[in-house]
């Protein structure tokens, strides 16, 4: 009987832990749990790998810890850069980008943010997937 009680107690503890982790999930597509902060995961250079219809266009998003932001667009031999600043929106569920050259502001809704994956929706509700470089 003692062994059966221990197994039931362990099973109950495992269910409680799983339910508490599920309620901690910040982004719709995960991760379920991360030891790194959202900022630590976001900072770096990201290449958009899904969501752009033209294979000749390469887009990179660079988030710096200082709050600086750069978007690099490569199309054939042409390269463009847009600089600005980024900050977290409410609850770190969105990333707000303010571009230097204009009064334009973009808000990216984070769908998934891991050390190597950044999935998001833009202002037009288009979805993109990026991989850390």
C-alpha closest to that of 26 among 13, 45, 12, 41:
41
Which candidate, 109, 114, 101, 102, places its Cα nearest to that of 126? 109
Domains of the chain: 38-132 (2.40.128.370)
Quote the percentage of the chain above a pLDDT of 70: 78
CA 86 to chain centre: 13
**Per-residue confidence (pLDDT) for residue 46, from 0 to 100:** 98
pTM over 0.75: yes
Tell me the two tokens of residue 47. Answer: 């290449």
Residue 16 parent element (H or E)? helix 2-24
> Is pLDDT at 17 greater than 60 in this prediction?
no
Is 113 exposed, middle or buried, given 0-12, 13-18 or 19+ CB atoms closer than 10 A?
buried
Q: What is the mean pLDDT of the chain?
A: 86
């Amino acid at each position: 009987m003692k062994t059966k009680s221990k197994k039931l107690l362990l099973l109950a503890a495992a269910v409680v832990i799983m339910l508490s982790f599920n309620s901690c999930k910040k982004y719709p597509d995960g991760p379920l749990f991360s030891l790194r902060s959202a900022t630590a995961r976001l900072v770096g250079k990201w290449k958009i790998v899904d969501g752009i219809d033209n294979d000749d266009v390469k887009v990179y998003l660079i988030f710096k810890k200082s709050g600086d932001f750069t978007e690099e667009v490569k199309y054939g031999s042409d390269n463009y850069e847009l600089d600005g600043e980024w900050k977290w929106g409410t609850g770190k569920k969105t990333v707000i980008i303010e571009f230097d050259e204009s009064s334009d502001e973009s808000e990216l809704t984070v769908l998934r943010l891991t050390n190597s994956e950044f999935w998001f929706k833009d202002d037009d509700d288009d979805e993109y997937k990026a991989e850390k470089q």
